[in-house]
Structure formats: structure tokens, C-alpha cells
A = this chain, B = another copy of it.
């Protein structure tokens, strides 16, 4: 039984003083063939719970045999982790460019050297294996193309992460919301599979590319499937790629990490990576799985600048007309009879589940306060 952890350090970039930023990539291999799994955490610097989950999973796999291999990339974006402004971590976007670190991935299908028609012509068997290699080689080529006058900081890290994930059958990109419940993003292609990953909320996004890691991983396979369909041939997408939101930013909790890991281990057992018997000591929280479409994922913005008390909590079900939050504002106070105007409750426009809210009580007019799911259904 092999359980060894292999560590590979990847230099990402050099800094103004000559120091190097590094990724620490850990690989564990099971004793039998099986799916290749890839997990990364903290591409957004303040979203750190995924690292605790990676630690729990590594601990589990160091004690139990499994099939296939798992690649762990904790703390996947050092630059984002290190960027503080005051006591908090601003790790969501590149502080130089404003570009969201999870919108810089490459849609390899849009690169001129990537051609699914040609690929299908040239490959009649072992499609999964060959297509993974094709994706990897295309990313390598794109990196060369992009590097002629230097590779941009916004592309540099992300293309390395895409290459690391290219061989994976299962890719989990571990994020968190601001103040949030646990939920995941799944694209339409995976709608019958995501039930096996038992987090309380699932948001269905289209099979499209908008810059994120999960999309970058599935989009080549979606395009491959489309080309097969155009040819009248059937092709099942063999990979799965999800963004998983593990609660709130700026927090790690090892006890919550055990529960998060249990959900993921349950998923792995469904994919044959681990045996059910190995899960006997793993407590899986009982979970009703609520889902909605992206079009039913709605944001409430502040109607005016104020202080805000968040009344509805992540995970809550709120009926239309029930209070979401209240605003405290002294600008209309001129007389004691105005006191009641200082405190104003704002209610839900629709029946909905609270997914997350802003972590700050100090808001401008137009600041995003709540994100909710409406028209939900059970998986």
C-alpha cells in the first residue's frame, strides 16, 4: 500500500527585490489505477478554508488506500494572500490592474492553434487521454505565444494552474463567499452528476467561459462534445470541474474542515476512488441539496449609503416581504420625530435562500449586500 506524499515546488514569479514566489504542489498516488483528482485553494487570497480541507483530505489519504492520484495545491495564489490593506486581506483582484484573479484563465478553445475538428480527425480511440494531452500541449503553446514580450502577471499564475489541472478527471477549485453558507457552481453538462457532491446549495451556470478556473477546465470538453454532436456522434464528457464555496472569507476552522472533507470524500467514494468502508469513521452531515439557475441568483444592492445590520443569515430561507437587513443613517434626522427614519428595514423582493452577504457594515449606495437564490428546486 503506497501512501507517500510527493512535493513539487513551482516558482511562479520573481519580485522586485529578487525573491521568488513559490507554489507547493503535493501529489498522492493510490495503489491502483483510478481517476486523477486536482484540488486547489485560495486563488482569492482571503478565501482560505479550502486549505484546511486540503489538510484534512491529506490526513485521510495518508491513512487510507485509494485509486488513482490526487494533486493538492493549497495557497495557490501567494500574491493574493500577501496583499493586506488594514487588518484584512484584499486578495480578490490584482492590486495593480484590478483584474479578478479568478477571471484570468485562458479559454484554450479560442486559441488559433486549438482545433477540435482536427483533433477528432486524428484520434479515434483513447479520446480522454489524448484530449487531456492535447489540452496540455495547447496550453504550453499558448504560454509560449503569450510570452514573446513577457508573460503578464495576470496570465502567468493562472496558466500554470490550468496546466497542473489539465490531466485531471475531477477538478475542485476551493473558494469561499464573503459571509456565506456552503455552495457550489456546477455547469449544465454536469447536472446529473453534481448530486454526488452533497453541499447544501448548487448554482447551475451555463456551459460557457467567463474566465474562471472551473470553466477553463470544462470548456474544451464541452466544445469537443459539440463537435461530436455536429457529426451525429455521441460523446459523454468524462471530466467534472466545480467551484466550491466553503463558507466565509478570512476564516479557517479545523472542525468545519472535517465536515467539508466528509462531503468531498463521499463524492470520491461515489467515483470509486475510495471504498465505502473507509468512510465509516467519517461523519457526513445530512444535507438537503437546494439548487437554482444562474438567472435566479440575485444580488441586492444598497439603496443608499449607510451602516447596515445584516438580519438574514446565510442558509436562511426568507419569504417575500420578510426583512433582509436594516440601514442606520442620520442624514434625515433634523427633529426628534425623525428618529424612526434613521433606522430603515429592507425586505426581500421574493421567496429566496440567503447564500451570502457583504462582510462590512459600512456601505456606499450601490454596494452589493446580499446574494440570494430564488425559484430553487431540490436535486
Contact = CB atoms under 8 A, between A and B. Distances in A.
Contact of A308 (B83, B92, B252, B369): B252
Nearest to A301: B150
A363 B185 CA distance: 29
A329 B18 contact: yes
Q: How large is the interface on A (under 10, 10 to 19, 20 to 34, 35 or more residues)?
A: 35 or more
B87 A360 contact: yes
A343 interface: yes
A24 B364 contact: no
A333 B96 CA distance: 28
Contacts of A79: 364
A92 to B, nearest CB: 6
A305 B368 contact: no
A343 B254 contact: yes
B334 A7 contact: yes
A63 B306 CA distance: 25
Contacts of A51: 307, 328, 330
A136 interface: no
B333 A26 contact: yes
Contacts of A178: 87
Name the residue among A178, A349, A368 with the largest chain B CB count within 10 angstroms: A368
9 contacts: A4-B335, A18-B305, A58-B336, A97-B368, A150-B302, A156-B366, A252-B308, A252-B361, A254-B328
